[in-house]
Amino acid sequence: MSKIAFIFPGQGAQFVGMGKDLYENFDVAKNLFDEADDALGYSIKKICFEGSEDDLKLTANTQPAILVVSVIISEILKSEGITPEVAGGHSLGEYSALVAADSIKFSDAVALVHKRGTFMQEAVPVGEGSMAAIIGLDDKTIVDACEKASEFGEVQAVNFNCPGQTVIAGKVQGVEKAVEILKSLGAKKSVILPVSAPFHSTLMKPAAIKLSAELDKISIADAKFPVAANFTGTLENSAADIKSNLVAQADNAVKWIDCVNSMKNFGADIFVECGPGKTLSNFNKRIDKKIKSLNAENCDSLKKTLDALKG
């Protein structure tokens, strides 16, 4: 019997118009967008459907926007009888996975990731931090180069996404120096990412502290099925572990390769990416070609995925 994993994207997958056709065709989408607007006190629906790209790109908007669309898709799939036995999400996506596993209430998660985005932005003033994707080098080479470059400004490897693609983050000068060193060591490519803060670096410590205080205010339950934790790369069920991992996740690296391998070792052989884009499905191809990946981000791709799973 196939085991299904739901996986949820993080920041960067957003686009204006996302979720609109779902809203027009599914009551659950209407209800969840309305619930999200109430939880936030402003209309995330308006920003998703017709907002300017700049508004949607603001971290405090991007995070709830992606979470809402991702959760809507997982709820539609569940209502069609497609239920995951394990889940995981990249960075922000971990919160979507925890909502899917009934560990965090949807309205709490929406408000929480809005605050998380705000805290992350406040931790490092715009223009002081940077992130870059490094293509074509092994993790150890990248980690070592970041250590060398740190005398120019803090910088670390922060996203271990798939073999040959690792993201670094830190102070602008540190990131620039690390990129220079990595190019000299044979990196095929380095891409400065269009983000407003150095996510998951040690510079996010102030955000982690504020996030911890917010997590104290909400109720977190044991997950109904295991969820891969970015901080450990392992599967977790317990509410206490989930909470401490979410705090640590803010200023530590995302071990996405480990998360996928943990889901795979659990027995998952079909991975369904719920939410905008196909970023995680593309990572899966690099992690293990044998993984069957499907995605659902709108009515069209949702139908194809349902046909594939029910056929």
pLDDT for 222-240, tens place per residue?
A: 999 999 999 999 999 999 9
β-pair partners for 86: 5
Q: Are residues 239 and 294 in the same domain?
A: yes
The mean per-residue pLDDT over the stretch 172-194 comes to: 95
Q: Are residues 207 and 300 in the same domain?
A: yes
Q: Are residues 178 and 74 in the same domain?
A: no
Q: Are residues 55 and 164 in the same domain?
A: no
Q: Does an H or E element contain 91, and which?
A: none
Helix (H, G, I), strand (E, B) or coil at 269: strand
Question: How many distinct structural domains can be found in the chain?
Answer: 2
Q: What percent of the chain has pLDDT over 90?
A: 94
Q: Are residues 245 and 149 in the same domain?
A: no
Q: Are residues 119 and 140 in the same domain?
A: no
Q: Are residues 181 and 37 in the same domain?
A: no
Q: CA nearest 18: which of 305, 271, 300, 304?
A: 300
User: Is the pTM higher than 0.95?
Assistant: yes
Domain containing residue 92: CATH number: 3.40.366.10
- Give, in order, the Cα–Cα distances in Å from 14 to each of 66, 89, 93, 277: 6, 15, 12, 8
Tell me the C-alpha distance between 293 and 98, whole Å: 20
pLDDT at residue 126 in the model:
83
pLDDT for 56-78, tens place per residue?
A: 989 999 999 999 999 999 999 99
153 sits in the region (left: phi over 0; alpha: psi -120 to 50; else beta) called: left
The whole domain housing 106 covers 3-123+203-310
Last-in-domain residue among 163, 195, 227: 195
Kindly list the catalytic residues: 91, 200
pLDDT for 74-127, tens place per residue?
A: 999 999 999 999 999 999 999 999 999 999 999 999 999 999 999 999 999 888
Last-in-domain residue among 171, 195, 219: 195
Domain containing residue 173: CATH number: 3.30.70.250
Q: Are residues 106 and 213 in the same domain?
A: yes
